[in-house]
Amino acid sequence: MRRASLEDIAQLASMCHSLWPDGSIQEHARELSRLLTVTASLMNRRELFRSMAAAAGAAITGVSWRATRTGAFSASQGAAYRPWREASESSGLYRALHAAILAASPHRHTNRGPFQSHRAVAGSALDAISRLNSEPDQIHVRFWTESPQQIRELMIAAAQAVIADRQQNRDSASWFRPTPEAIALHRDGTTIDAQGLSPVMTTVAKLLPGPSDSFADRVFLKRTREVYCGPGAIFGTILVKAPCSKSARVCVGRLWQRMHLWGTAHGIAMQPINQIHERIDREATSRASTTFTRDLSNLIGEPEWRGVFSFRMGYAQRPALPSPRRDLAACLI
């Protein structure tokens, strides 16, 4: 005689309800139905355990597949990160140039993680960084040590404005490389590894499906408030007298590289925070109101100087991971 299945018992319970429509008899049918259901669950415990084991196995397989595909347990690995470690060019000139770059900056990475709130950058370090500026008549580094809250609030407001500007927000998000395939293809932009998250949160972020745009915007704004503009940071802005000059902007970029290298050599983490200047450029090329152009100019208080690059610096809670890079040969003309 074959063993009763859950379907058999369910059909019997259904028949009990339909055969006795009378109220009192129908109540007995309900009791019988509940009894049969309990009996079925007891009879099918083995099948239940088998199903649970199969489901657990499928879940483990799925997580393992996604972890392998997204590189959840291998941070900043692959061909896109090789330029940080070795010179892949065959030419003697390229290899010598690449070796010089590696010697100067193998650990120079943008740190987007939290800073130590109990440890401040000394004034002597700020003076040393200022002396790296070889063109003081045209370029000036302003450290916001006397009005940190004002520049902090302006940075947060700029981040909110970028999010609210749908076109600018899409353009900014297009630089994010969420998968190993995108990293290998573009070899630029920002990644999950480079966000400064804890190792556990980095792994979780890789395993989960990609977030919606609205969720990503909320996370970005929250990190801007609590991390990028959070405790432990000294904020600075590089000022120029000719903000539209391409040569001046090249000089600003060179100065920033010297500053970042100096900071790395002295254990100081650094991160550009340029939403203010992104909004100022947006205001100059669209019908957007000149809110940030005006507010930053008022904060600087010197009409001849214009801010073109802002950053934060401090002592990091955890080291920064590298971002993807192209091979040197692909970047030379």
Q: Which residues contact 57 (CB under 8 A, 6 or more apart)?
A: none
Question: What's the CATH code of the domain at 297?
Answer: 3.40.109.10
Q: Which of 209, 175, 235 is nearest to 72 (CA)?
A: 209
Q: Please report whether residue 54 resides in a domain.
A: no
Q: How far apart are CA 264 and CA 269, in angstroms?
A: 6
How far from each other are the two terminal CA atoms of the chain, in whole angstroms?
83
Amino acid in position 92: G
67 within domain boundaries? no
Q: Please report whether residue 261 resides in a domain.
A: yes
Note down pLDDT in tens along the chain; length 333 residues: 444 454 554 554 454 444 444 445 556 566 666 665 666 665 566 676 676 777 777 767 766 766 666 777 777 788 888 877 776 655 667 677 667 667 667 788 999 999 999 999 999 999 999 999 999 999 999 999 998 999 999 999 999 999 999 999 999 999 999 988 999 999 999 999 999 999 999 999 988 888 899 999 999 999 999 999 999 999 999 999 999 999 999 999 999 999 999 999 999 999 999 999 999 999 999 999 999 999 999 999 999 999 999 999 999 999 999 999 887 777 777
pLDDT tens digits, 165-187: 999 999 999 999 998 899 999 99
Considering the domain boundaries, does residue 201 fall inside one? Answer: yes
Task: Quote the number of domains for the chain.
Answer: 1
Sign for the CA dihedral angle at 124, 125, 127, 128 comes to: positive
43 assigned to some structural domain = no
Q: What is the pLDDT of residues 21-54, one digit of tens each?
A: 444 555 656 666 666 566 666 556 667 667 677 7
3-state DSSP assignment of residue 237: strand
89 occurs within a structural domain: no
* β pairing state of 139-143 and 269-272: unpaired
Q: Which domain holds residue 299?
A: 111-331
